[in-house]
Amino acid sequence: MPAPMTVTEILDPQCVVVPLVAHTKREAIDALVDALSLTGRISDANAVKKAVWEREQQRSTGIGEGLAIPHGKTSAAHGLCLAVGRLATPIDYDSIDRKPVRLVVLLVSPPERTSDHIQALGRISRLMTNPAFREQVYAAADPLQLLQLFRAAERG
Q: Which residues are catalytic?
A: 71
State the burial class of residue 45 (Cβ atoms within 10 Å of its Cβ: 0-12, 13-18, 19+): middle
For residue 102, the surrounding DSSP H or E stretch is strand 101-109
CA angle 109, 48, 75 (to 5 degrees): 50
SS3 content of the chain, % helix, strand, coil (to 5): 45, 25, 30
